[in-house]
Structure 1
Amino acid sequence: MTMLFADRIDRVAILAGGVLATVAMWAFGYLSHLPGIMLPGPATLAGLSLVLLGAGRFVGAHATPAIAAAAGGVAGLINLLVLGSLLGGDDGRVGAEAAVWVPASIVVHAVVARLGSIGVRRVRWSAADWHGVMAAATTSAIVLVVVAGGLVTSTETGLAVPDWPNSYGVNMFLYPLSRMTGGIYFEHAHRLYGSLVGLTALLHMILVWRGDARPAVRRFAVVIFFLVCCQGIMGGLRVTGRFTLEEVPLIDEAENLRWAVAHGVLAQIILGATATLWLLRSPSWQRSGSGRAGGAFLPVFLVFAGVMQLILGAAYRHYQSLGETGFTSLAVAHTSWAFVVAGLAIAVGTMTQGRFGVPPLLRKLGFGLVLVTGIQFLLGVAALFAVMGGAKSSEQPVAILLATAHQANGAIFLSLSITIAAASVLAARAARSIEPYGQSAFSDDALDSGTISEGEVVTAEAITSSNASTA
């Protein structure tokens, strides 16, 4: 086995493909058990199998069937985080049959992924491509946990489980699926997603540290993992108010709401940081360099404005218990500031389209920012009208869906803003330096480490020369 996957590219592909398959399977599994959907067991199993087949096909199309099978095995290993909820009894204890189910899960995942790779046309990817897949999978996992957290807030079920990290005295990973009903499902599933994000962030950090020669990028990955750990602890403190394994009475409401707002805000900032790391590690960005992204002031100001809007929105959603006056004030502030943020976003998006020499990837991000801004505005208006009927928004399915979609789309908006701002800052630094940033990313260390190929260096040098000639 060691000789079979001795190539570094193969090992990165296995890990990235396995994480990608896991995130996709968890997304389907979460949706299949939402109230109002609740697919029967056989239908859920069939859907999960199709997702794994698709993941195996994707990995096999860019690697080998053996790597696809190994990636499936990695997915089976990570999915042990939720297998305990199926094997455990009502008391959360796992019987002797787990000794069979655990290896069987890994083998079955590997076989299904291998079947998915049959008959595909293969184009081998480089290590840089698979590093990009890992970054995309990590970012997607955080998007999912933000959506799950949004549903927790929309349904007001953040305290449905009164202890942490246990769930009603049972190990979080062994809490039986049969008891995950109503608000408990929303809150407990959100916790499980948090554990998945923590694991993927750890694996991503290790890959970055071993595969990227740029010290700043390595440190950035470590910072993101540290923030993810802080985010998990913050979520637990929102429930208990202190470090304890016991069930505790509800903590002071004001303290609980402060933790809730901070927890929600930090989650979206982490998403933006992870998306930025994805940009820095993507082959297309490394090939094109920072180019001429325009001035950095406006994109950076947009980030600060977006974070302020995020804080207002989080407070608006969590502080409804303050009464009509406080709730109305937050609603007015959130709505009014939205026009400022939208104007800034349109200006930044237009700036990325109108300047010569802007990398194609950054142009796409700018276009996406404008598009997401329009969607966010429409979702905000729809969510506002949905809650004007007088009933609690947590009791209206349409209002729940609209509010959650508004929050999730807002997280994507902030991520695009942070990514564009980071690219603009890098471009500004490159303009002041002798050596363009895009070329410095292809250092001798990066070439020696195998992160990029010599052909990519030639491409980067050609682009750099082209940019210099047009300056």
Structure 2
Amino acid sequence: MTREDPAGGGSVENPPTSESGESPAGASKLVHRLALATLCVTYLGVILGGVVTSTESGRVDKNWPSFDGNLLPSPSGMLDNPGLLVEHGHRLMMGSVGILALLACIAAYLKERRNWVQILSSYVFLLVLPPAILGGLTVWYKLPPILSVLHVGMAMLFISAVTILAVVTSPGWTGEKTRLKLSKAGPICSLALFAVLSIYVQIVLGAVPRHATLEPGGGGEALQTIGDLVHIVWAFAVFTGIVLLAGKVLSLSKADRILHPSLGLLLMLFLQVFLGFATFIYQTPPSLVVDEAQGLVKAGTFEVLASTHQAVGVLILILAVVICARAYRIRFLSASEPEAAL
């Protein structure tokens, strides 16, 4: 398509646009790569945070934001004390997440043409702060369950937001070609949104028994028992939602952008059910006393299973967010071009 050149005679070619009216150049590769790097490092940091919780290494260093009273962590101290290695490693990794989120935000304002993506990148950066502050407060106040659970909840909000940023800055977002009838796209969007919300709630519920402690008068055993019960009951809702979502997506003939992550989501779901059952079987009572000098306080079958269970749960959340974002994108494009819908 051409237009008249305002500077003189002749005509010039318009820049190519996608079917949605967005320029493919609007999605910056730099922003996408930074968002993807932020997501990957965040996921690794969350896994390490799960190890901190399972092994109770969070009790090893009572100082924050300093590292055992120092500005920077001691490499020799981390190597000598496994607890410090896990706890300080988690802090360093999440500090790197903050830097990457800031770089992604700056890159978005410099490179991105879509204003809403720039705003989203700002929210992503701002969402780094609450988990960091809550993490520090849990150290100061010796891991109270309420602060620890809030810490998990805010961390999951951040990882969901950075996942969305990575999805909307990917080349596939502006180049999306899948079109579905609204009668098909609507239920998929609803199920995907329910999956995201239910998984988020499930992760927060799972954090309750994991952070229960037997502090004097704290009711740790009761909190763990009730938390486990609610977590197990809600798991049926999560399982049902994901199976229904995967079933809807698998019934479509041409929806690869949501088909592949849906298959991954379904596989991760069955793995998670097994891990959840095994974790419950090997569950140990909450600790009453922890000797900080011991470093890695706990390291056994339960700790490995619990950490893996949490890691897979977060991966399930990420996949659900990817599916949800892409499903709503397809629905928007399908509504704009109903004649192209399948």
Q: Taking structure 1 as the reference length, what is the TM-score of the superposition?
A: 0.59
Instruction: Provide structure 2 residue ranges, at least 5 long, that are not aligned to the other structure.
Output: 1-26, 288-296
Are 2:64 and 1:176 equivalent residues in the alignment?
no
Q: Which residue of 2 aligns with 1:74?
A: none
Moved over 6 A (4+): none
User: Which residue of structure 1 lines up, in the alignment, with residue 266 of structure 2?
Assistant: 370
One of 309, 329, 332 as aligned partner of 1:426? 329
- Post-superposition Cα deviations, 1:303-323, rounded to whole Å, max 9, x if no partner, equal 221122111100010014334
Aligned to 1:294: 185
Per-residue Cα deviation, 1:288-339 (whole angstroms, up to 9, x for no partner)? 2563372222211222211221111000100143343332121121112112
* Larger relative contact order (CA 8 Å, sep ≥ 6): 2
Q: Encode CA deviations 1:395-426: one digit per residue, 9 max, x unaligned.
A: 34221111111101100111111222222333
Q: Which residue of 1 aligns with 2:7?
A: none
SS at match of 1:395: coil
Whether contact under 8 Å (1:294, 1:352) holds in the other structure is: no
Aligned position for 2:23: none
Q: Distance in 1 between matches of 2:257 and 2:332?
A: 19
| Letter paired with 1:220 | L
Q: Give the whole-Å Cα distance in 1 for the aligned partners of 2:166 and 2:121.
A: 10
RMSD value, Cα: 2.4
2: CA distance between counterparts of 1:370 and 1:277?
A: 23
> Is the aligned partner of 1:468 residue 2:339?
yes
Task: Answer yes or no: is 1:314 the counterpart of 2:314.
Answer: no
Which residue identity lines up with residue 370 of structure 1 in the other structure?
L
The 5-angstrom pairing of residues 349-360 of structure 1 reads: 349-358=246-255, 360=256
- The residue identity in structure 2 corresponding to 1:286 is T
Of all paired residues, the percent bearing the same amino acid is: 29
Alpha-carbon distance change, 252 to 409 in structure 1, aligned in 2, over 3 angstroms = closer
How many residue pairs get matched? 297
Instruction: Give the Å deviation of 1:260.
Output: 0.8
TM-score by length of 2: 0.79
Structure 1 residue 220, shift from structure 2 partner:
0.9
8 Å CA contact retained: 1:276, 1:418: yes
Tell me which amino acid in the other structure corresponds to 1:333.
V
Q: Residue 328 of structure 1 aligns to which amino acid in structure 2? A: T
Q: Is the 8 A contact 2:199 2:238 kept in 1?
A: yes
- 1:132 and 1:217 map into 2 onto residues whose CA distance is 11
Contact 1:285–1:361, Cα closer than 8 Å, also in 2: no
Using the TM superposition, give the Cα deviation of residue 219 of structure 1 relative to its aligned residue in structure 2, in angstroms: 0.9
C-alpha change, 1:336 and 1:164, in structure 2 (3 Å) is same
User: Quick one: which of 204, 215, 237 aligns to 1:340?
Assistant: 237
Contact between 1:273 and 1:419, CA under 8 Å: does it hold in 2? no
Deviations 1:270-303 (A, max 9, x none): 2122122111111123212563372222211222
- 8 Å CA contact 1:132–1:282 kept in 2: the answer is yes
The answer to whether structure 1 residue 214 and structure 2 residue 114 are counterparts is: yes
Structure 1 residue corresponding to 2:223, chosen from 303, 317, 326: 326
Asked if 1:400 corresponds to 2:303, the answer is: yes
- Give the Cα–Cα distance (whole angstroms) in 2 for the partners of residues 136 and 303 of structure 1: 19
Q: 1:130 to 1:265 in 2, by over 3 A?
A: same
Q: Which amino acid aligns with 1:298?
A: L
SS of residue paired to 1:164: coil
Decide whether the 8 Å contact of 2:32 with 2:165 is kept in 1.
no
Q: Which residue of 1 aligns with 2:160?
A: 272
Q: Which residue of 1 aligns with 2:62?
A: 162
Task: Specify whether residues 252 and 148 from structure 1 end up closer, same or farther in structure 2 by C-alpha distance, changes over 3 A only.
Answer: closer
